[in-house]
């Protein structure tokens, strides 16, 4: 039996980023401030929060909803921020259903380093679309996750679906 390799070259920029000063910056603060939404994969902005595509996703369409304000936990949000966050989580799910037709979702937060937070100082909610059979032997045996679509393709599809959902609902 020979060793097989699956090249995941997209992971190296992430690994290198974590080892730099830029990797210590809060992406939920710096990326929205840059004003380059498409380049930074910011899908939607509202008054208090925004939706961003996870650059290192668990599954295609993996979104995150975060407040603009740098706060560590849900209980630190104002009432308006909390309402806006949940409105954007709902909008994320509607958009993902329209664009990708998932069979389910994982929605949750990792608050604090002990809970696995990658950016423990800035609360954010993950919205991960799921399909029956989207988990296979690769993560278990190969310690590798296969993501089946390119980020730019996913961004374009979700941006279109988001526009349609917003148009139908008359919302922002």
Residues with a catalytic annotation lie at 124
Residue by residue, DSSP assigns the chain as -PPP----TTHHHHHHHHTSSGGGS-HHHHHHHHT-TTTTTEEEE-SSEEEEE-SS-SSTT-EEEEESS--SSGGGS-HHHHHHHHHHHHHHHHHHHHHH--SEEEEE---SGGGT-SSTTS--EEEEEE-TT---HHHHHSS-----S-HHHHHHHHHHHHHHHHHHHT--
């Amino acid at each position: 039996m020979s060793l097989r390799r699956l090249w995941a070259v997209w992971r190296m920029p992430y690994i290198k980023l974590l080892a730099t000063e830029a990797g210590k910056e809060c992406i939920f603060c710096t990326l929205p401030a840059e004003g380059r939404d498409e380049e930074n994969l910011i899908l939607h902005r509202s008054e208090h929060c925004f939706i961003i595509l996870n650059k290192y996703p668990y599954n295609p369409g993996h979104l995150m909803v975060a407040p603009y304000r740098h706060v560590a936990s849900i209980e630190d949000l104002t009432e308006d921020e909390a309402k806006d966050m949940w409105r954007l989580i709902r909008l994320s799910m509607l958009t993902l259903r329209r664009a990708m037709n998932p069979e389910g979702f994982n929605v949750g937060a990792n608050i604090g380093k002990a809970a696995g937070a990658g950016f423990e100082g800035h609360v954010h909610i993950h919205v991960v679309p799921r399909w029956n059979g989207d988990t296979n032997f690769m993560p278990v045996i190969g310690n590798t996750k296969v993501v089946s679509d390119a980020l730019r393709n996913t961004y374009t599809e979700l941006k279109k679906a988001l526009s349609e959902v917003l148009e139908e609902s008359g919302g922002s």
